[in-house]
Chain A
C-alpha cells in the first residue's frame, strides 16, 4: 500500500462526487436491467423498429454531409478571413447550439414552411416542400447539428500554422488549391471529430424534427420520435429502441475516446 501524502479525501467532496457518478450511470444501468432480453430478437425485427432505425441513420448521415459541405467553408471563412462583423457571425453560428430545438423547428417552419418566406417560393418555383418530409428531417437535424461541426473545424483551422498556406502559395497554389491540398488534409482529424459529434447530435434530434417534419412512420419518424411514441403504447418497445440509441452513442464515444475523453 502506498501511503497518501496528502491525507484523506474530504467527505464533503467525496460524497457528492460519488452521488454525481451514480446519478449519471444508474439510469443507463436501469435501462439495461429492464431490457426484455428474451424477446429482444423479435422486437428488433419488428418492421417499425427497423424502418425508424434506417431512417434515423440515413437522415443523420445526410444531415452530417450537408453540415460538412456548408460548415467547413463557413469555418474556413471564420478562421481565415478578417471581415467586419466576424464576431457577430460567429455568435450567430452558435445560436442553434443554445436555442431550444423546438424553437428552431418553429423558426424553420416560418422560413421554409409551405407559406414561409423561402418555402412559398420553393413551392411555387420548384414544387418543393420541405416540412413533414424526409428532406425536412435532414434540414431540421442539420440546423441543430451544424454548430458542432463549425466550432470543431474552426478550432482545428486555427491550430494550423497559416504559413503552410503561404508556402503553398509560393509554390504556385491558388487559395483554393492550398485549401484542398494543404489545409484540408491538415485539419482532417478535426473535421472527422466534428462530423462524428454532428452526426451524434443529428441522430438524437427530437424537438426541431417533430416540429418541422412531424412524426410519420417510415417518412419522418426517426428513432427518438419512435421512442417517444412507443412510451405511450408499449414500454418494452421504447426500452428496446432506447437501448439501440445507447449502443450507437457508446460506439461513437469509443471512436472518439482519444480525442475527447482522455484527460491530459
Chain B
C-alpha cells in the first residue's frame, strides 16, 4: 500500500473526522461526500497542512504523522503533490516556472527544472502557453497547469481537491476526460476529493463515501450504485432506499408498511428501487403482483425528459413518469395518487 492512514482530527468546534484509508500504487480513490463532511480536512492531513489529533499516516512505507510517537513530517518533506480547488498557481510566475517550482525546490538546477517543467506542460498539451502568466490562462488550462505542477515532483501520493469544481460545464467534460488519462498514467496513488458523483464514478477505481466525518460506505462504482447504504448515497445514484426487517419476500420498512421484494432475504436489509420503477395511478390499481399504496404529491420537478414526482405518505419516494403519463393524472402538490412498484424491480440486500 502506498498510503495507509487512520485519520482522526478533532476540531475545536466539535466536528470530528475519523476515517481510515488505504490506497495501493496506481489506484485512484475518490473521497465522496456532501459539503462539510470532512473530505478536504482529510486531504490536508495527508498533505501535512493539518496535523492529526490521533491516528497515523504512512506514505510510501514511511510514517509521516503519528501523534502517539510524536512524529510529524512537514509538507515540504512528504512525497505528495496537491492540486488545490482553485489551483493556487503563483500569479507572479509563468506557467513554466509554476511547474518548475517543485523540481527546483527539490534541488534540481534551474535549467534542469525548466526542462522537466516543459516536458510536463507538453504532456498536458500546454507547451505553447509556457510563458503565459496564470491570469492569461483559461480555467481549463489553469487546471492542467496545476496538475502538471503537482505531478512534476513525482509524488508517491497525488491529492486532488475538487479538481473540476471551478470549471464551467463544457470545459469540465473535456478536462475530466484528460484528467482521467493522466491519472491512469500516474504510477503513484491518487486521492480525489469531490462532492460530484460523476467525477468520482468516472475518475476513481474505488469510492469512499464520507458523511459527517465518517466512512459510510466504500467499494467500486458498480457495488455502490447497485446497493447504496445511506440516503445520501441513494440520492447520489438516484435510487429510492429503505431500511427494514425482512421475512422471506416481505420487508417491513415502516410501522405497518411492508414492501414485497423479488429477493429472498432475512433480517436487517436495505430495499432499493429506481424512480423509473414507480408508477402513479389516479385510482387503486389491481392485477399483477406489486406493491401499491396511497400517497400525496409533495413536489413536482422536470428531470431530463421525464417528470420527477416527490411523494409523501407512509414512505417517502421519488417517481419518474413520462409527460404522457402525467397528463392522465391530476398533478399538483398535495393531490392524492396511488403508487405502484413491481416486486421484480426492487432489490433487497443485507444491511449488516
Interface set of A (CB-CB < 8 Å, partner B): 161, 163-164, 166-174, 177, 181-182, 185-186
Contact = CB atoms under 8 A, between A and B. Distances in A.
| Chain B interface residue number, banded | 20 to 34
Contacts of A182: 90
B158 to A, nearest CB: 11
* Residue of A172, A177, A182, A185 with most partner-chain B CB within 10 A: A172
A172 B81 CA distance: 9
Interface stretch (B98-106, B233-241, B286-294, B343-351): B98-106
Interface of B: 47-49, 74-78, 80-82, 84, 88, 90-93, 101-102, 105-106, 149-150, 153
Given A168-B90, A170-B48, 10 more contacts: A166-B75, A166-B88, A168-B101, A169-B75, A169-B76, A171-B102, A172-B77, A173-B101, A182-B90, A185-B93
Contact of B101 (A166, A171, A174): A171
16 contacts: A161-B88, A164-B88, A166-B49, A166-B75, A167-B88, A169-B76, A170-B47, A170-B80, A170-B150, A171-B76, A171-B102, A171-B153, A173-B105, A185-B92, A186-B91, A186-B92
A186 B89 CA distance: 12
A169 B84 contact: no
A172 B49 contact: no
A181 B105 CA distance: 10
Contacts of B153: 171-172
Contacts of B91: 186
Cβ-closest 10 pairs across A and B: A172-B105, A171-B102, A169-B75, A167-B88, A173-B105, A170-B82, A185-B92, A172-B106, A169-B76, A170-B75
A161 B87 CA distance: 13
Contacts of B78: 170
Contacts of B82: 167, 170
Contacts of B93: 185
Contacts of A186: 90-92
Contact of A169 (B74, B106, B149, B150): B74
A173 B88 contact: no
A171 B84 contact: no
B102 A172 contact: yes
A160 to B, nearest CB: 10
A171 B49 contact: no
A163 B76 contact: no
Nearest to B92: A185
B205 to A, nearest CB: 23
A261 B101 CA distance: 37
A180 to B, nearest CB: 11
Contact of A170 (B49, B90, B92): B49
B90 A164 contact: yes
* Residue of A164, A169, A177, A182 with most partner-chain B CB within 10 A: A169
B76 to A, nearest CB: 5
Given A163-B84, A163-B88, A185-B92, A169 B102 contact: no
B214 to A, nearest CB: 26
A166 B332 CA distance: 53
A169 B101 contact: no
A168 B93 CA distance: 12
Contacts of A173: 76, 101, 105
Contacts of B74: 169
Given A163-B84, A169-B75, A181 B101 contact: yes
A70 to B, nearest CB: 24
A171 B149 contact: yes
